[in-house]
Chain A
């Protein structure tokens, strides 16, 4: 082999060797996701962000629920919205690792729990629940971290 042939074959082999790593590095870029990408007005945050096999889902609030004054309807609505977002990301409710629940009224805790435990039946995620003031007078907001 001439030196030139050796050099060019080294480049080809080197590129082939590094290509899988380049693809892996590309996969590790953050991906912005939304099950409803045409929601208006466009929010200043992303509904979901994935990185590798983790996905972070922004809080789903309950102001658009069919009965925004009923905590059970609101909780079901927020969890259903979460499920849609997770499905769009290639994840699922079974893959949820951690949930944050924000309630307008701390007294709604028991009712929220009813709906929550009916949704996360087996091996539920970790959770913290607090009462806070939520935008648009929402009774509940729920966010999640899950794996894909």
Chain B
């Protein structure tokens, strides 16, 4: 064979031609995770759902924080429980891609930001913050999407 087409590159072309192509129909199934015991009666939603290399965490409020009236304590509590849920599903805080923050009081934004930065010190996720009312009394609630 000439230098144009060596035996090795020919073999490369042929194997590339037969390389499988991922079909648009997904063979992946969703996986449910929960770091704590499963809720009884069963919860209306799942705390964590994984699919392929994505992990979705359900909204978590700060009603069970040690000091539910203190925004810093509340923010720590929510992010710490996320760290546990993420680890349980095989992810981690540095794989968080996008967070949504739901606050009761707009004045709490700077304090929430302070604590948020402590939990995401490097390459923080994308984020949207809004002021809303949540179903249970809570100073802050968050949800997120992470990579696995």
Residues of chain A at the chain B interface (Cβ within 8 Å):
1, 3, 6-7, 9-10, 13-14, 16-18, 20-21, 23-24, 27, 52-53, 90, 95, 97-99, 106, 109, 113, 116-117, 120, 123-132, 145, 147-148
Q: Which residues of A contact B108 (CB under 8 A)?
A: none
Task: Give A109 to B45 CA distance when docked, in angstroms.
Answer: 13
Q: Interface residues of B toward A: which range?
A: 35 or more
Decide: A120 and B45 in contact? CB cutoff 8 A. yes
Task: Give A120 to B116 CA distance when docked, in angstroms.
Answer: 32
With both beta carbons as reference points, the residue of chain B lying nearest to A31 in the complex is identified as: B24
Show 11 A/B contacts (Cβ-Cβ < 8 Å), sorted by A: A6-B4, A17-B16, A21-B19, A53-B52, A97-B56, A98-B58, A98-B143, A120-B44, A123-B46, A126-B46, A126-B48
- Residue among A1, A3, A127, A131 making CB contact with B45, cutoff 8 Å: A127
Decide: B132 and A126 in contact? CB cutoff 8 A. no
Decide: B46 and A124 in contact? CB cutoff 8 A. yes
Decide: A24 and B22 in contact? CB cutoff 8 A. yes
B51 at the interface (CB under 8 A from A): yes
Per-residue CB contact flags for chain B residues 90-134 toward chain A (1 = under 8 Å, else 0) read 000000000010100000000000000000000000000010111
Q: Which residues of B contact A21 (CB under 8 A)?
A: 19, 21
Q: Which residues of B contact A129 (CB under 8 A)?
A: 59, 134-135
Q: Which residues of B contact A148 (CB under 8 A)?
A: 24-26
Decide: A130 and B134 in contact? CB cutoff 8 A. yes
